[in-house]
Structure 1
């Protein structure tokens, strides 16, 4: 081969080698597109073993055949990176830190710059690595604003939202940070219809008065908040308690006291009193049995003074307002003018008690006021025998006289003493009863006195009252009830000679002497004469 030909061939080989080397740039890498690559890291990843990126440059970074040099350039995130040149890898470096994505200060991504230098030409190429930090569900929801307490009026309508402040903070992101709320277990009164909102809604009416005496008027609602992580087994949750305090509303009527049980409810009592006929008003409230006229608002925690207003509603006879007045604030009933018993023997009045702030809340009760006979009252304090009668009795020798006076009830229920035949012939008169066939044991000095004691108008039967006068001193015995069917008491006790007191005891010999039953238009009564 000619010398010139050899020179030409050598030159061509050098050129081809240069072209080949130029075509195979050692800093080229299929990983980087336009000099950038995007990677992803899980938060809380371990250091040194976590690969951020495999760079795969064409050249060799270490050893005898080294063609490139790799360096991690300065950046704000440089300290998070560890360059492994022989493997052409960028790994995570923590240096005591934790890669935490959560919260406002959490790390959302890491940015690195890797420079590749071709040793043969000193040419350099900068490639960017952007690593997104992925969220790990590592936080439970945290309730904000505890404790949760709310007053709720018992009259709150069903369907009302009664609590809106159940909120949480979950530092995780996306589904891991979204929270759902629910009531733990079954709830009779409350529900959370929108779990994503957490608002508590009333589903059944509340009842302040429905709590047991002494029981706290409140409900404790257990609330569970959990995130919505896709993997159900990885979901995290927290619990809290919402306290609903039930407050009293105006849903109860007025009640007169004392309560008269009528099944499951309280009825109003019958208030009973009396006035003496022809008595001038004393500006004093009447005294009633079984208790003073008094009513309360059963909604005790919403009542404010005066609270209750009293008034007359109706009554018999129709002119009852001419005789009585009622205090609108206290309910006290007073006599306005004297009453004549020959005109009216009793008053039946319906009274009303209503709330001062809600006239639809009221109750009624009946008041019965009897008119007592002023002559009948004198039986308590007056004697019946005149001096002439005393003189006549002394002739037959008197030490003690014993007699029964029977107190019976009229048809209107008021008590009265038995009357003589003359009284029955003249019903307008009222006089002390007299008796025949009185028996005396021996002669002595003293006045004969008959005394009668009144009894309650609601007594179940009539009573006989034994009384005796001895040497000017009148004493009385125990009440003796009459049989309500026969109106005759076979247990009338024979009173032995001597002083009779309330505590006297007698033998078992019974009185069977003169017994007379009487009937009249005013009622029935019994006279027993001993």
Structure 2
């Protein structure tokens, strides 16, 4: 217990519960304290002046408190002296154990590390005052992990304690480290942590084959790249230290086989490199080496990091397909050769010991037009059609060879057939040439340069020879110059031409090739005579004739004739329209009448065929359907069911109603605005004859003699209409 001192003194209180600090006073005045914790943690006895702590003090929470004490009058509370400041410092005791930063640590160290190799440093802390006593003085020690590891007492550094620790023997270690305060002496507090230490791998082990000989087998029918078997050397190392590469270093099969590394399974894969033949060699031997890819120089003195093994491979016999003597064939045949000409011969054999007979055939997918055929027995190929090099220069076909006794075993070989050229195409113009020549030529340059083409090969084509036919070689108009570069120039011999005399010239040109024998053709060059005025060229012969051959008076006369002709045509059409047509046509042919009234412009002559009145002249005829002629129906219209043919005694009124009903129900006919008027008198008319021949009126203007003469004709006309009221002959 300490006494309270004036402000310039410090009082220390041990962190014991309810310990009082006393301050002796000479007077009996009233004492008050203020400051940190006053009235809560610290209280003062106003009679004795003793300061008491009301609760346990913890230095780790607060190391010191600052208080102010003052004496006041008990009655008036007036200060009797200046205030005094006290600092209460909490003295430390060892009440906190050491604590590590982490509850668990993880560390790695390479296997086979030297003794004393640093692994990891662990650190602990103590909340007690490190400046007072040994409460915060820590000492580290290892509780678990001996004899493999040790720890430095003052620093907490963990180090290896045994040499040549092998990861393959034990990979992970669990170490417990303790930190104790009070310098590690008796009575100190302690804390622990766990450290997991893993040994990392180093390449300290070579690969090893588990056996000395591997046996494998493969069929002679296997193709290159096919797997024969696998070998595996074991390496206890991991990661890149355990990677193994395989190589064939010796053996009689080093040319026939190869080995690759499967890095996923760490196996060596033996594969076929060339085709095998059981009849030639039945077994092969290989010496295979397995070596680490990455080698640690520290362990290179431990010995070679590799191992070898013997691999024996047996070849199994197989029924092999035929084999062609050549991988491909190229033949030549002349074009236009007669069908049946020989092209060439392919040959295949059975590689098996039994040597089965072979049959040959052409793959028709490669010879769709069947230009060729092959002898099944000996493989001779022949052309069965005439070949045209200009149509197909190369024919690429495929030929099959199969064993007679096993059709499933077959071989295929490509055959290329070249069609050699024959001079069977004459040269011709590369295009339809046409040029012009001015009436008044201003230059002696060629009119045009022409070229030729030949479908034949170069040996039978160019160079081309251009010439004029012998019969016109000395013509006075044009000449030809062979440029000797497979082109020729056409030159005009005259300086002037006349379109009136001749406006077009056709110049024949003979072109010959260099074939043996040479072929030639005659091609025609069209040359038009044109009028040239600067850059303007006119090649119209009609315009030229009008301008050059006719005078102004002649042109006026021609125009006047044309005008007069037009006036005559107009007058003729007008008079024809004013001419009245007779009411009755007195031809002995079929009599028809069709009066059509339009309220707009109609369809012309087709409208006159809108209705056929031939049925009206014979009511006894069949009431069949007559299609419209003024339109083109979209589909055939059939008569509506229920409309029966008119009987012999049909009345014209019923007949017309029937026709109207058909027209109304006809979906193929548009509703034309027309009026159909039929001039017809039916049978048995109660009105009698409407003829005026029997009229008693003598004042009529009718010429009865005329009617008398025409009476029989009216009678015939009435008979045609089918009327019983005939016109009587007054004669």
Instruction: Give the structure-1-normalised TM-score.
Output: 0.38
**Which one has a bigger Cα radius of gyration?**
2
- Structure of higher RCO (CA pairs closer than 8 Å, 6+ residues apart): 1
If the length of structure 2 is used for normalisation, what is the TM-score?
A: 0.28
